[in-house]
Amino acid sequence: MHIRSNLALTLAVTIAVKCLLLYGLWAACFSHPQTRHMLLPAGQVERHLFALPAAPDSLPHK
């Protein structure tokens, strides 16, 4: 019982620490993605792919 509860405790602590670390990484590096809901403003994509003159940025219609 002692070992079993030890393992459960170790795993619980590890998962908690892991979630904290993941949250820290996300907050530090990934909390401001350039795409929201996997969409970029169409004008930005055009400038990237075609170097076209800037058009008014707008989200494309789905």
* List of residues contacting other proteins (CB under 8 A): 1, 3-4, 7, 10-11, 14-15, 18-19, 21-22, 25-26, 28-30, 32-40, 42, 45-46, 48-52, 60-62
Angle ∠(11,12,18) on CA atoms, nearest 5:
85
Helices (H), 1-62: 2-25, 42-50
Interatomic CA distance for residues 23 and 9, integer angstroms: 21
Q: State the minimum distance, in angstroms, from the CB of residue 6 to other proteins.
A: 10
Q: State the minimum distance, in angstroms, from the CB of residue 56 to other proteins.
A: 14
Q: Which amino acid is at 46?
A: E
Nearer to other proteins, 56 or 61 (CB): 61
